[in-house]
Amino acid sequence: MEERRKGALVAAATLAALAITALATVAAGCGGGDSTTAISAAGCKEVDAPEPKEVDLSAPKQTVQAGESLTAVVQTSCGKFTIALDSKRAPKIVNSFVYLAGQGFYDGLDFNHVVSGFVVQGGDPQRNGASGPGYTIVEPPPPSTKYTRGVVAMAKSLEAPSGSAGSQFFVVTSRDTGYPPEYALLGSVNEGYGVVDRINKLGTRAEVPKEPVLIEKITIEHG
């Protein structure tokens, strides 16, 4: 009887040890101590906001051909979406964007300006609403340009000339912003708009997202 009781105690102790090990493993995963990634309630990776950084690049030479078929693949902490770049109507703006993407300029920046039901905006290295790559490209959009849902354009200050662009871009999430044709055209979202909408829903009255949304990487596909 005594041996049987000892055997039961050993078995119970073993089960307890296994339970503690399992709990420790789960805790390690949730704490980010391994490759497990924590996901927020919004369905995005839990990430830290990037540190502001100084950038001072020179304007690139024109290498993009007007009408060239180009797609920007935007990988974010909330998922991936793609932009069909409009090199036909905005060859200079697209050329600059392609250059910046190739330099890794956007990698690690964020969407720091989000107005739900209006626009999501990113590409600001200083995160102050006014910074850029160190140069400005000017290419006014066609007079018929409408900033409707899915359109991607370049941000500028109200005082800047029509078509001025640095690195900050916005994706329209409203049916129509009502903006006049003054913001340089970049293209339109052709895949993954659900990801844009996920980011859009993180907007607050302060026009910043409820949680950081990183631009992990932008790559350019030809053809």
Distance CA 101, CA 106 (A): 6
Q: Where are the domains of the chain?
A: 1-36, 70-222
pLDDT recorded at residue 41: 86
Which amino acid is present at 177?
Answer: T
Residue 82 amino acid letter = T
The three-class DSSP label of residue 16 is helix
Could you tell me how many residues make up the chain? 223
At residue 117, what are phi and psi to the nearest 5 degrees? 75, 15
Q: pLDDT exceeding 90 applies to what percent of the chain?
A: 82
Q: Is the pLDDT of residue 4 over 70?
A: no
Residue closest to 71 by CA, chosen among 62, 81, 58: 81
Contact 125, 155 (CB under 8 A): no
Among 9-23, 29-43, 130-144, 205-219, which is the least confidently predicted range?
9-23
Q: Is it the case that residue 12 has pLDDT exceeding 80?
A: no
Q: What is the pLDDT of residues 115-148, one digit of tens each?
A: 999 999 999 999 999 999 999 999 999 999 999 9
Using a cut of 0.85, tell me whether the model's pTM lies above it: no
Tell me the CATH class for 70-222: mainly beta
The whole-chain average pLDDT of the chain stands at 88
